[in-house]
Amino acid sequence: MSFRSKLGFAAAGLLLAMSASAVQAQDYPNRPVKIVVPFGAGGPADVYARVIAQYLGENLKQPFVIENRPGAGSIIGTDAVAKSDPDGYTLLLMSNTHTVNETLIPNKPFKLMDDFVGIAPINYSDLMMVVHPSVPANNVKEFVELAKAKPGALNYASSGPGTPYHMAGELFKAMSGTDIVHVPHKASGEARNSVIGGHVQMMMDAVTTMSTNAKSGNVKALATTGSKRSELTPDIPTVAESGVPGYEATIWLGLMAPTKTPQPIIDKLNAEVSKIVARDDVKAAWAKQGAVPMTMSPKEFDAYLRKDIDKWADVVKKTGATVN
């Protein structure tokens, strides 16, 4: 067979593969789709995954089922998705926990940008720095003074190594010059309950889930972590304006699929997620919770993920953060 003939067969094979992929996307989904949330129930990842799942199910006429698989700072559930078939029927609800873990936990059984492909971002929100009511500090300055007076005596809770709550705490320690002990939990709900119950003194929690506890007096809100005050809690100052200049930490969420998932399926899901986060009712509901919708193409989201990995690699290096 001549080289030209071989080239022709190769081109024909490629066209057939592309055609089959396009047909597969047109038929997708024709059975239930599972979205694995590698975090505990009740946290922002779980809450917003269920919103996305509801509307995807309605729009695509198939159930999108949430499966919570928390543990090991998101690694257990994420690894399960990495090992699943790349057919669009098992998806991953991820956050900046995943971009942090690329540096913080280098010996994971997967590599994010090799084993997954980005579908679309969902939203971002500020965190809220809260303490148990028994802590004798009513603002960030007083908390820093207390922590410096008692090095290693105060604790802060997180939902596990590498989560936004953990990294926000480590960044705070580094920028405020304090020694506060990290107490990891399996899920954000457990960490939240530890602070509300007075077992741990402080937590950087999602403003979307902790603001109601602050308003009810279960915790004291000292500050929020964005570059400007949250529209949800405009009376609460930021950490940066409260004595730790330049401090900023947020939590954002996105959707990914195993690598080699057909591009037409990725594009279809991206378009559907983008429609959902652009809905007026969704935007209005999220605004009341302090969450801001995010919209990007798969290519833009890929670039965003890679940039965030580099950002947190620098933070991990500067703070000396560990999984302990």
Give the pLDDT band of residue 321 (cuts 50, 70, 90): confident
Mean pLDDT of the chain: 92
pLDDT digits (tens, 9 = 90+) for 227-262: 999 988 999 999 999 999 999 999 999 999 999 999
What are the pLDDT digits (tens) for 201-215? 999 998 988 989 999
- Mean pLDDT over 282-290 rounds to 92
Across the range 177-191, mean pLDDT stands at 92
Same fold, 27-124+252-319 and 126-242: yes
- C-beta separation of 221 from 233 below 8 A: yes
**DSSP for 95-147?**
EHHHHHHHHHSTT-SS-HHHHEEEEEEEEEEEEEEEE-TTSS-SSHHHHHHHH
How many C-beta atoms lie closer than 10 Å to residue 209's C-beta? 20
Task: Give how far Cα 198 sits from Cα of 155, 207, 233, Å.
Answer: 11, 19, 23
104-145 pLDDT, tens digit each = 998 999 999 999 999 999 999 999 999 999 999 999 999 999
Q: Which of 161, 165, 227 is nearest to 202 (CA)?
A: 165
Length of the chain (residues): 324
Residue 8: predicted pLDDT: 61
Q: Give me the pLDDT at residue 3, please.
A: 57
CATH architecture of the domain formed by 27-124+252-319: 3-Layer(aba) Sandwich (3.40)
Per residue in 143-182, pLDDT (tens digit) is: 999 999 999 999 999 988 888 899 999 999 999 999 999 9
pTM: 0.80
> What span, in angstroms and rounded, lies between the C-alpha atoms of 264 and 121?
17
Mean pLDDT of 275-295: 95
Q: Measure the CA–CA gap between 30 and 57, rounded to whole angstroms.
A: 11
Sign of CA pseudo-dihedral 196, 197, 201, 203: negative
Which tokens is 207 given?
Answer: 């403003």
Burial class of residue 7 in the structure, from the number of CB atoms within 10 Å of its CB (0-12 exposed, 13-18 middle, 19+ buried) = exposed
Q: Which amino acid is at 101?
A: N
State the greatest distance between any 2 C-alpha atoms of the chain, in Å, as a whole number.
83
Taking the domains of the chain in order of start, what are their residue ranges? 27-124+252-319, 126-242
| Run of H or E including 170 | helix 164-176
Give the separation between CA 62 and CA 31, rounded to whole angstroms. 6
Angle at 230 between CA 226 and CA 231, to 5 degrees: 150
Q: Does 5 score more than 70 pLDDT?
A: no
For residue 73, the 8-state DSSP code is G
CB 189 within 8 A of CB 163: no
- Top-tier CATH class for 126-242: alpha beta
Q: How many CB atoms lie within 10 A of CB 111?
A: 12
Q: Distances from the Cα of 261 to the Cαs of 14, 64, 92, in angstroms?
A: 16, 17, 12
Q: Token pair of 188, please? A: 């954000």
Looking at the DSSP bridge assignments, the partners of residue 221 are 130
Residue 19 scores a pLDDT above 60: no
Instruction: Give the per-residue pLDDT at 11.
Output: 59
Residue 45: CB atoms within 10 A of its CB come to 29
In this predicted structure, the answer to whether residue 40 has a pLDDT above a threshold of 70 is yes
Whether the per-residue pLDDT at 289 is higher than 90: the answer is: no
User: Average pLDDT for residues 285-310, to the nearest whole number?
Assistant: 95
Tell me what the mean pLDDT of segment 55-62 comes to.
Answer: 98
pLDDT of residue 178: 96
Tell me phi and psi for residue 244, to 5 degrees: -125, 75
Which pLDDT score is estimated for 20? Answer: 56
